[in-house]
Amino acid sequence: MTGGILMGSKGRPWKTLMVDDYEVRIGRSAAGNDEVTNGLDCTDAWLHVADGYAGAHVGVIKGGTANPSVLRQAARWAAWHSEARDLAQVGVYVVPGDAVVSFGGTARVVWERARPRLTVVPEQPPVPAQPPKGGLHVDPLWSVVVGALRMAVDDHGPIDKTNLSSAAKRVLAAIRGAEKGLAQGDGETP
């Protein structure tokens, strides 16, 4: 399983993602790690990169009942949000949420049995596009493409097999011009 849906996390000390209807919380700081960890109970799962690497505390709400693919995805994100993110494979502990306490961003596992461990490849969680303040964000290159298509239709009528080549050439020329303008640092499209 891959992917996830990013939920609104603004103002919270953790990032919230959804995987198969399970909420996954990823601490953003020491305070966030404390809140994620100390907010878990026995029905939740707590994940953290193994082998002494520093990293985010990850909680899967009601994760004790989650299927293994949900926990594996959360483990990939825990590995990504750690010092071990550049390793090919990373061990991640998975323990019941009530078996861990955290203070000052440092967790203490109070569960004395062997810690279950998954080995995963780190994966970056989805990152939402951030529109600029003040309105809807439209990729400047997309605006150029749409404008070039409109001009091609205005010049040649509806695009069909007979004029597709000239319309495509016009769009490509417009894209190249826009890329050149953006590369020169003016931030504007022609």
Look at residue 64 and tell me whether its pLDDT is greater than 90: no
H or E element, residue 73: helix 68-80
For the segment 4-49, what is each residue's pLDDT rounded down to a tens digit? 554 555 567 788 888 888 999 999 888 888 899 889 988 999 999 9
Same domain, 12 and 106: yes
Which pLDDT score, from 0 to 100, does residue 21 have?
86
Same domain, 116 and 152: no
Same domain, 110 and 37: yes
Which pLDDT score, from 0 to 100, does residue 174 have?
67
Does 126 reside within a domain?
no
Same domain, 160 and 111: no
Residue where one domain finishes, among candidates 92, 120, 148: 120
Instruction: Among 23-37, 46-60, 159-173, name the one with the lowest average pLDDT.
Output: 159-173
Which pLDDT score, from 0 to 100, does residue 24 have?
93
Q: Which of 117, 110, 121 is nearest to 88 (CA)?
A: 121
Does 62 reside within a domain?
yes
Which pLDDT score, from 0 to 100, does residue 113 have?
53
**Which are the contacts of 91, defined by CB distance < 8 A and separation ≥ 6?**
49, 50, 51, 117, 118, 119
Same domain, 110 and 155: no
Look at residue 185 and tell me whether its pLDDT is greater than 70: no
Which pLDDT score, from 0 to 100, does residue 154 have?
63
* pTM for this prediction: 0.60
Same domain, 82 and 168: no
Residue 151: domain span = 140-183
Give the pLDDT band (50/70/90) at residue 189.
very low
Which pLDDT score, from 0 to 100, does residue 110 have?
63
Which pLDDT score, from 0 to 100, does residue 103 have?
73
Q: d(Cα 144, Cα 149) in Å, to the nearest integer?
A: 9
Same domain, 109 and 29: yes
Contact 178, 172 (CB under 8 A): no
For the segment 77-126, what is each residue's pLDDT rounded down to a tens digit? 999 999 999 999 999 999 888 888 877 767 776 655 556 788 888 888 87
Q: Which 8-state DSSP code applies to residue 151?
A: H
Backbone angles phi, psi at 5, to 5 degrees: -115, 125
Same domain, 45 and 76: yes
Does 55 reside within a domain?
yes
Give the pLDDT band (50/70/90) at residue 56.
very high
Same domain, 110 and 19: yes
Query: How many structural domains is the chain composed of?
Result: 2
